[in-house]
Amino acid sequence: MTRLFVYGTLKRGDCRAYLLMHATCLGEAVTAPLYKLFTHGPYPALVDAGRVGSTGMAIHGELYEVDAPTLARLDEEEGVDEGLYQRKPIKLVDQPAEAQAYFYLRSIESMSDCGDRWRVDRG
């Protein structure tokens, strides 16, 4: 099992939450203040703050325990093989065990900063 931190469309109630229907939700979680979150229209982009030469923020999301088949499906959905996202370790506060998250790999130049959590305007 892999512990996975999600911060956008995979969160409960969002458009791709169904991909985690066989995972165990461990509840809300917050990262160490080392990251930046941007919006790319209908989905978010998490990056290491050092990548953008900025001070990081504590990002709010949810933590799940995910089995290998679900993780493989998520990697496909997140475009890991296409170089869109990379799944790698993330530092969470008040969490003793390692967790992973999807980090955006492409340019964030034209994206807006989301602050500490991603919200999408659904009009």
Task: Kindly tell me if the per-residue pLDDT of 1 is higher than 60.
Answer: yes
Count of the separate structural domains present in the chain = 1
Task: Kindly tell me if the per-residue pLDDT of 123 is higher than 50.
Answer: no
Kindly report, residue by residue over 25-51, the tens digit of the pLDDT.
999 999 999 999 999 888 899 999 988
With respect to residue 114, please indicate whether it lies within any of the assigned structural domains. no
DSSP one-letter code for 67: -
Kindly report, residue by residue over 65-109, the tens digit of the pLDDT.
999 999 999 999 999 999 999 999 999 998 888 999 999 999 999
| Helix, strand, or coil (residue 79) | coil
Task: Kindly tell me if the per-residue pLDDT of 14 is higher than 60.
Answer: yes
Catalytic residue at 82? no
Domain residue limits at 29 = 2-108
Considering the candidates 78, 82, 98, 109, report the single residue annotated as catalytic: 78
Cα dihedral: 73, 78, 80, 86 (round 10): -120
DSSP codes of every residue in 14-57: STTGGGGTTSEEEEEEEB-S-EEEEEETTEEEEEEGGGGTS--B
- Number of helical H runs and strand E runs in the chain: 1, 8
Q: What is the CATH number of the domain that holds 100?
A: 3.10.490.10
With respect to residue 63, please indicate whether it lies within any of the assigned structural domains. yes
